[in-house]
Amino acid sequence: MAFKEQVVCDADCQSTLDGIPMIETSSGLKYQDIKKGRGPSPPTGYQVTVHYTALTPSGQVFASSYESGKPYDVRVGAGQIVKGLDEGLLTMQVGGIRRIYIPGELAFPKGLASAPGRPRIPPNSPCIFDVNLLYIPGLDFDEEDYE
């Protein structure tokens, strides 16, 4: 499969977004749960393993874990990623797929230089992340408790 085809929210998913409720948080972050996960949400400071695709508001991909072929590991709530992505991950559950609409002030306040062939992200520009929460190492749970 070509890189451009390896996205979290494919064409079938895109067509269903209109029917999925939009949640807005007090910070202005918005998200849609494309697929609800199961189990607990990651506590602040825990590492999570995700696949993600980052897009401009016009839908241009500017970063993706699929490019390397490996999921991305990050500690949530520790300031390792943009504020909006941190906030959006903290309420996800394992197996969940979420489209996160991040306002400019929670994204890249100083902008983001572009990789070759990718769009540049101007300062305080909004962006979109499609995220699949794959695993929370060290936080095992009994699936029967979450049915």
Q: What is the pLDDT of residues 84-143, one digit of tens each?
A: 999 999 999 999 999 999 999 999 999 888 778 888 899 999 999 999 999 998 876 655
Residue 14, C-beta contacts closer than 8 angstroms, at least 6 positions apart: none
- The gap from C-alpha 35 to its chain's centroid, in whole angstroms, comes to 13
β-strands 127-135, 47-55 pairing: antiparallel
Tokens 């590991």 identify what position? 73
- The gap from C-alpha 39 to its chain's centroid, in whole angstroms, comes to 18
Half-sphere exposure of 35 (CA within 13 A, CB side): 17
Q: Which CATH number applies to 3-146: 3.90.45.10, 3.40.50.300, 3.20.20.60, 3.10.50.40?
A: 3.10.50.40
pLDDT recorded at residue 143: 54
63 or 11: which carries more pLDDT confidence?
63
| pLDDT grade for 2, boundaries at 50, 70 and 90 | very low
| pLDDT grade for 7, boundaries at 50, 70 and 90 | low
Residue 54, C-beta contacts closer than 8 angstroms, at least 6 positions apart: 61, 62, 63, 64, 127, 128, 129
| pLDDT grade for 5, boundaries at 50, 70 and 90 | very low
The reported pTM is 0.87
pLDDT recorded at residue 3: 40
> For 26-71, what is each residue's pLDDT tens digit?
999 999 999 999 988 999 999 999 999 999 998 888 999 998 889 9
CA 17, 61, 119, 110 dihedral sign is positive
